[in-house]
């Protein structure tokens, strides 16, 4: 495999770089530019930026053209993400469920009216989505979920509770998985449905993370009535749509881009903190640079396999597992190397890089949990990559 950009890829890379340079908000990337702190204002800022990406033709770039995408190749998608991270483009996490999960899943599995109604607004960042999968008794073993959906006329009546629902408090809609049949094997009785978060009977209770931020929620459903036409994939046929969603969620191929951008930022912080000559710090930095290259090569190898077979395999689990490990070790070591300045909280004048690394350290604990824990990734690699027995 030739790892250099082809002339077409080099031209594409230059185009992305130029567009970002011309369009990122005024002052972006300088200490003077601050994203809004108020959560509502922040979401508004991200929606506006997504609208700008969409009008420039840089949203959902791997989606088919008929849905507003550019139908770019897997490698072009990686190139876009490399350039976006290198420019420290805004983190679009609040819009990620809509953009990264709902759009692609509806394009594959949605009814025609669902595609027409929801896919465009996902692309333009006009509506926020949340993902109502996990429950107090069902995370890794998602098929054990208990939230009930009972058919009543042409509606589904929903009762139960979800947990860890990121951004439910900002969301317009939710992709919800409910149990519609208790008489069959657990994964055969599930239904995947689109729920309007303004429906009567929904209560959202915030959960504050150890970072001090509030992303997660518990979401309670009491006799919430949802039109049957909102079901995706058919009654009791939700498991296939869930698997499609999780495959899309785990297939992110550009973790190395984010890591490279953080390494570049870290070098600046290290110089400012006077630890850039510290041998232990340098050793950790070199190790992380090497790990990032390993991630990049694995992503390119997966992309190449995808181009040949047209299918994304379980190798995405290797990237997810390795990246979670690198992310946590890297953040831990560098905050140690920074000493008290690394541990000082955001807003503390003594904090290195305005508390960015302290926040990153705490946040890195999530890497081995979301989108399938590291133990679950190991199970997938064992059975589906190495062919070991369950
Ligand atoms: C940042 C973040 C965002 C999230 N956002 C959402 C969201 O928007 N919507 C949503 O629905 N969920 C969300 N989640 C929840 C996430 O999907 C679950 O936390 C995850 O699936 C694990 O489930 P659990 O927490 O119930 O842990 P459990 O499944 O109870 O696991 C507990 C421990 O047991 C281990 N374990 C479980 N089963 C096995 C097994 N078969 N073999 C070996 N070890 C096993 C796990 O690895 C883990 O260490 C989010 C989580 C995080 C961290």
Which is catalytic among the residues 127, 244, 249, 284? 249
- For the CA of 372, the closest atom of ligand 1 is 21
The single-letter DSSP state of residue 135 is B
Determine the CATH number of domain 251-385: 1.20.140.10
The CATH fold of domain 7-91: Butyryl-Coa Dehydrogenase, subunit A; domain 1 (1.10.540)
pTM exceeds cut of 0.85: yes
Question: Measured in angstroms, how far is the CA atom of residue 61 from the centroid of ligand 1?
Answer: 30
What pLDDT sits at residue 314? 72
Query: Which candidate, 34, 349, 373, 37, places its Cα nearest to that of 212?
Result: 37
| Residue range(s) in the chain whose domain bears CATH number 1.20.140.10 | 251-385
CA 268 – CA 263 distance, rounded (Å): 9
- List, for residues 155-180, the tens digit of each pLDDT value: 999 999 999 999 999 999 999 999 99
What pLDDT sits at residue 315? 74
Question: Measured in angstroms, how far is the CA atom of residue 212 from the centroid of ligand 1?
Answer: 20
| Residue range(s) in the chain whose domain bears CATH number 1.10.540.10 | 7-91
Q: Is 249 a catalytic residue?
A: yes
Ranges of the chain with pLDDT below 50: none
Query: Ligand 1: which of 132, 142, 164 to mutate, judged by most atoms within 8 Å of the beta carbon?
Result: 164
Dihedral (C-alpha) 139, 176, 100, 290: value to the nearest 10 degrees? Answer: 0
Nearest CA residue ID for atom 37, ligand 1 = 140
CA 70 – CA 202 distance, rounded (Å): 37
- List, for residues 270-317, the tens digit of each pLDDT value: 999 999 999 989 999 999 999 999 999 988 888 888 888 877 667 788
What pLDDT sits at residue 251? 64
Class of domain 129-241: mainly beta
| Residue range(s) in the chain whose domain bears CATH number 2.40.110.10 | 129-241
């Amino acid at each position: 495999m030739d790892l250099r950009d082809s002339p077409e890829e080099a031209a594409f890379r230059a185009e992305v770089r130029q567009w970002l340079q011309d369009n990122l908000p005024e002052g972006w990337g300088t200490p003077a530019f601050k994203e809004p702190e108020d959560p509502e204002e922040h979401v508004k800022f991200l929606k506006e930026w997504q609208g700008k990406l969409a009008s420039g033709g840089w949203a959902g770039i791997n989606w088919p053209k008929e849905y507003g995408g550019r139908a770019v190749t897997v490698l072009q998608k990686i190139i876009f993400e490399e350039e976006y991270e290198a420019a420290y483009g805004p983190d679009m996490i609040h819009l990620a469920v809509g953009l990264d999960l709902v759009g692609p899943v509806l394009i594959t599995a949605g009814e025609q009216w669902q595609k027409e109604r929801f896919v465009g607004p996902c692309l333009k960042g006009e509506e926020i989505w949340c993902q109502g999968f996990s429950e107090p008794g069902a995370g890794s073993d998602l098929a054990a979920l208990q939230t009930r959906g009972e058919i009543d006329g042409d509606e589904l009546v929903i009762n139960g509770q979800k947990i860890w629902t990121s951004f439910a408090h900002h969301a317009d809609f939710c992709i919800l998985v409910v149990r519609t049949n208790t008489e069959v094997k657990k994964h055969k009785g599930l239904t995947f449905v689109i729920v309007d978060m303004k429906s009567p009977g929904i209560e959202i209770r915030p959960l504050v993370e150890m970072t001090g931020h509030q992303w997660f929620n518990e979401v309670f459903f009491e006799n919430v009535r949802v039109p049957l036409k909102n079901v995706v994939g058919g009654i009791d046929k939700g498991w296939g749509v869930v698997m499609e969603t999780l495959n899309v969620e785990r297939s992110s191929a550009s973790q190395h881009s984010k890591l490279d951008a953080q390494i570049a930022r870290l070098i600046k912080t290290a110089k400012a903190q006077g630890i850039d000559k510290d041998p232990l710090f340098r050793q950790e930095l070199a190790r992380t640079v090497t790990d990032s290259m390993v991630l990049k090569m694995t992503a390119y190898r997966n992309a190449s396999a995808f181009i040949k077979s047209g299918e994304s395999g379980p190798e995405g689990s290797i990237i997810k597992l390795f990246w979670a490990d690198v992310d946590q070790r890297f953040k831990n070591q560098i905050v140690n190397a920074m000493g008290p300045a690394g541990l000082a909280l955001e807003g503390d004048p003594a904090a290195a890089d305005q508390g960015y690394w302290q926040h990153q350290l705490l946040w890195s604990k999530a890497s081995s949990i979301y989108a399938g824990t590291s133990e679950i990734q190991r199970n997938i690699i064992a059975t589906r990559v190495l062919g070991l027995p369950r």
